[in-house]
């Protein structure tokens, strides 16, 4: 039995590696025709449409019962249905809660973003936010494009890796995957919102006597099929969108190479692989009440080629799945290494970096304080 399982695991790994290699080669050749949606993309649009239809139908039914139904017995449930339908609506994220900043707040950063966008031929974000996550992301807030930079990643990355990071993230605006559109993104967000509520209804027991415990058991039983249905629906949506998402990730990596050069793109991936080292550095600073960003920079400054190669070797062992929305770090590194080596397409002098660092310092420090507090209170 053990040998069979080992053989199956190796066979699955070879199949996934072959699939990943083909996907990477396709992206590297830029052989993706965005003007011709695939069958999977059309299916994702249809699944998103069913989510929107469910929300609209719920609101219409509730409004009809509330306003037109002749009996008060029907109007009261109608009002409840309306309130439930409003809950189903995937309300957009608040700019105030995000803490996003405009060109007026960050002139140096937006000047650099203008140069990156001009070089790669993509759009510029309208808003930029900072958060404590070791990542970066983009999304749409209505018609406004939002770039979110993870403070730990920005601090940990060397200058040429930061250029590659900006090129990669702005590349997502140019190569939007199927789940980032104004039609599909709200539907996906709504599904996750529904799953969260059903999970809380099914998992959180009521405090009280035997009667309330019975109610808890009944609610769990009633909620279970809906939880299973939503889980399957979200999985199917993610599965159909995964290929598009991976391809767009590779295209964004090509933009990272174009912006920061081959060395910058590789340095960015090495910095991403150093996430555990950065986390440990922040933890040490939190316990000692030292400067977290100084500890992060000092820790990564000690990295040598042997350390980076060891992290890359470990990344090769990452499991690949057909429903993964992102290619593995190993595949992304191969993409950079297989391409012809190029220099940075956007060059920034030392004086500009100093001005940019001074401009971003209060925002990075604010995000760092949140991160340090979260780590400190965990201990």
Task: State yes or no: pLDDT of 178 exceeds 70.
Answer: yes
Q: Of 288, 59, 262, which Cα lies nearest the Cα of 280?
A: 288
DSSP 153-203: HHHHS-HHHHHHHHHHHHHHHHS--GGGSTTHHHHHHHHHHHHHHHHHHHH
pLDDT band at 2 (very low <50, low <70, confident <90, very high): very low
CA dist., res. 189 & res. 196, Å (int): 11
**Contacts for 356 with CB less than 8 Å, ≥ 6 apart:** 108, 109, 112, 348
58 or 182: which carries more pLDDT confidence? Answer: 58
Confidence of residue 118 (pLDDT cuts 50, 70, 90): very high
Q: Compute φ and ψ for 293, nearest 5 degrees.
A: -70, -35
How big is the chain by its Cα radius of gyration, in Å? Answer: 24
Beta carbons of 103 and 125 less than 8 angstroms apart: no
- 130 three-class SS: strand
Query: What mean pLDDT comes out for the span 304-316?
Result: 88
Tokens 């090495």 appear where?
A: 270
Tokens of 138: 């983009």
| Least confident span in 50-59, 205-214, 303-312 | 205-214
Of 145, 165, 147, the residue nearest 155 (C-alpha): 165
Which one has a higher pLDDT value, 16 or 143?
143
Backbone angles phi, psi at 98, to 5 degrees: -70, -30
Say whether pLDDT at 206 is over 70: no
Name, in order, each residue with C-beta under 8 angstroms of 219's C-beta and a sequence gap of 6 or more.
201, 202
| Average pLDDT estimate for 126-130 | 94
Please write the tens of the pLDDT for every residue from 43-98. 999 999 999 999 999 899 888 888 887 777 777 788 888 888 887 787 766 555 56
Strand order from edge to edge, sheet including 144-150: 127-131, 144-150, 136-141
Lowest-pLDDT range of 70-84, 132-146, 207-221: 207-221
pLDDT at position 3: 42
Tell me the CA distances in angstroms from 241 to 24, 314, 362, one per residue in order. Answer: 16, 27, 38
How does pLDDT run across 15-40, given as a tens digit for each residue?
555 555 555 555 555 534 445 667 88
Q: What does the pLDDT look like over 341-376, one tens digit per residue? A: 999 999 999 999 999 999 999 999 999 999 998 887
Beta bridge partners of 136: 149
Sign of the dihedral through C-alpha 116, 122, 126, 128: negative
Which whole number is the average pLDDT over 190-213?
A: 68
Question: DSSP assignment of 231-256, as one string?
Answer: HHHHHHHHHHHHHHHHHHHHHHHHHH
pLDDT tier at 268 (50, 70, 90 boundaries)?
A: very high
Would you give the distance in Å from CA 357 to the centre of its chain? 25
Report the length, in residues, of the chain: 379
Token representation of residue 198: 């059903």
**Structure confidence at residue 33 (pLDDT):** 47
Question: 7 pLDDT band (50/70/90 cuts)?
Answer: low
Predicted pLDDT of residue 16 = 52
pLDDT at 267 over 70: yes
Per-residue pLDDT of 274-290, as tens digits, reads 999 999 999 999 988 88
Q: Lowest mean pLDDT: which of 16-20, 59-63, 194-198, 223-227? A: 16-20
Cα separation, 306 vs 313, in Å, equals 10
pLDDT at 4: 43
pLDDT of the residue at 128: 96
pLDDT of residue 32: 45
Q: Name the burial class of residue 293, with classes exposed (0-12), middle (13-18) and buried (19+) by CB atoms within 10 angstroms of its CB.
A: buried
- Count Cα neighbours of 144 within 13 Å in the Cβ-side half-sphere: 16
User: What does the pLDDT read at residue 210?
Assistant: 59
pLDDT in tens, 233-246: 998 998 888 878 88
| Assigned token pair, 35 | 């003007």
C-beta separation of 130 from 363 below 8 A: yes
Q: Mean pLDDT over residues 6-15, rounded? A: 53
> What's the pLDDT score for residue 192?
85
Other beta carbons less than 10 A from residue 310's beta carbon: 12
The answer to whether 261 and 168 are in contact (CB under 8 A) is: no
pTM, two decimals, is 0.81
Task: Calculate the average pLDDT of the chain.
Answer: 83
According to the model, what pLDDT value does residue 146 have? Answer: 92
What's the average model confidence in pLDDT over 243-272? 92
Domain positions in the chain: 2-31+97-378, 37-89
Nearest to 281 by CA among 377, 360, 371, 149: 371
Q: How many helices (H) and strands (E) does the chain have?
A: 14, 3
């Amino acid at each position: 039995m053990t040998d069979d399982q080992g053989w199956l695991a190796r066979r699955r790994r070879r199949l996934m590696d072959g699939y990943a290699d083909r996907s990477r080669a396709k992206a590297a050749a830029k052989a993706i025709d965005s003007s011709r949606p695939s069958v999977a993309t059309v299916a994702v649009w249809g699944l998103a449409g069913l989510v929107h239809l469910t929300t609209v139908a719920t609101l219409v039914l509730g409004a009809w019962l509330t306003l037109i139904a002749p009996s008060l017995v029907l109007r009261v449930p109608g009002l409840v249905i309306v309130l439930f339908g409003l809950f189903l609506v995937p309300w957009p994220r608040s700019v105030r809660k995000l803490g996003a900043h405009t060109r007026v707040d960050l002139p140096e950063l937006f000047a650099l973003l203008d140069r990156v966008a001009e070089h790669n031929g993509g759009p510029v974000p309208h808003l930029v936010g900072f958060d404590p996550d070791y990542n970066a992301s983009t999304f749409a807030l209505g018609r406004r494009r939002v770039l979110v930079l993870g403070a730990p990643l920005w601090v940990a990355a060397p200058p040429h890796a930061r250029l590659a990071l900006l090129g990669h993230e702005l590349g997502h605006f140019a190569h939007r995957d199927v789940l980032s559109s104004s039609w599909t993104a709200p539907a996906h967000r709504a599904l996750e919102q529904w799953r969260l509520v059903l999970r809380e209804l099914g998992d959180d027991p009521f405090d009280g006597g035997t009667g309330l415990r019975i109610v808890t058991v009944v609610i769990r039983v009633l909620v279970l099929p809906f939880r299973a249905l939503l889980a399957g629906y979200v999985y199917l949506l993610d599965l159909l969108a995964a290929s598009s998402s991976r391809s767009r990730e590779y295209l964004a990596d090509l933009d990272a190479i174009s912006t920061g050069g081959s060395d910058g793109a590789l340095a960015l991936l090495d910095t991403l692989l150093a996430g555990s080292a950065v986390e440990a550095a922040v933890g040490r600073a939190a316990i000692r009440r030292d400067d977290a960003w100084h500890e992060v920079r000092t820790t990564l400054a000690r990295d040598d080629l042997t350390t980076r190669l060891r992290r890359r070797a470990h990344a090769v062992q990452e499991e690949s799945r057909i429903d993964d929305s992102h290619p593995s770090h190993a595949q992304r590194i191969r993409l950079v290494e297989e391409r012809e080596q190029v220099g940075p397409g956007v060059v920034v002098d030392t004086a500009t970096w100093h001005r940019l660092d001074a401009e971003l310092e209060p925002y990075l420090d604010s995000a760092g304080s949140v991160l340090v507090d979260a780590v400190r209170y965990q201990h």
